[in-house]
Amino acid sequence: MDSILNSPFFNASLLAGLLFLFMGFMIRKYPPRSMKTWYGYRTFSSTINENTWHEANQYAAFLSRRMAYILIPFGLLMALLFKTQTDLFLYLTVTPVIICALLLTGLTEWHLLQEFDEDGERKIKKE
């Protein structure tokens, strides 16, 4: 067990990428039905009403899958480049996870701002 934990294949990018992929597909296939469920993308702007809740979860699930497609290959690449877990290895595998988590939140919030007004009503798009 100790050799698995110390393996370069046991890294933050790879594990978080798998988690992002799982979350993205699960929320896509089984979207949270209401804001009272234990899972889902839950922020102030996503819980204004049911429309913002469903839009935020749909968009966050989409982004989560896309970020997993970046994190998983990056984690595998780092595992192939490093023979052992070093400090540099730790920084290189944790940093993309932090960036992706921040991007997931920021981009989803930005999407909600573009789609809804402050009362949670869908904006009318000019074409």
Q: Could you give the CA distance from residue 74 to residue 69 in angstroms, rounded to a whole number?
A: 9
Q: Which pLDDT value is given to residue 29? A: 94
Q: Which pLDDT value is given to residue 126? A: 64
Q: Which pLDDT value is given to residue 10? A: 87
Residues in the chain: 127
pLDDT averaged over every residue in the chain: 92
Q: Could you give the CA distance from residue 47 to residue 23 in angstroms, rounded to a whole number?
A: 19
Task: Look at residue 51 and give its three-state secondary structure.
Answer: helix
Q: Which pLDDT value is given to residue 2? A: 59
Q: Which pLDDT value is given to residue 1? A: 59
Residues 21-56: tens digit of each pLDDT: 999 999 999 999 889 889 999 999 999 999 999 999
For the chain, percent of residues with pLDDT exceeding 70: 97
Question: Using 50, 70 and 90 to split pLDDT, how confident is the model at 127?
Answer: low
Distances (CA, A) of 108 to 12, 79, 93, 114, 125: 22, 30, 23, 10, 18
pTM score: 0.87
Q: Which pLDDT value is given to residue 5? A: 77
Q: Which pLDDT value is given to residue 41? A: 94
Dihedral sign, CA of 100, 101, 104, 106? negative
Residues 63-86: tens digit of each pLDDT: 999 999 999 999 999 999 999 888
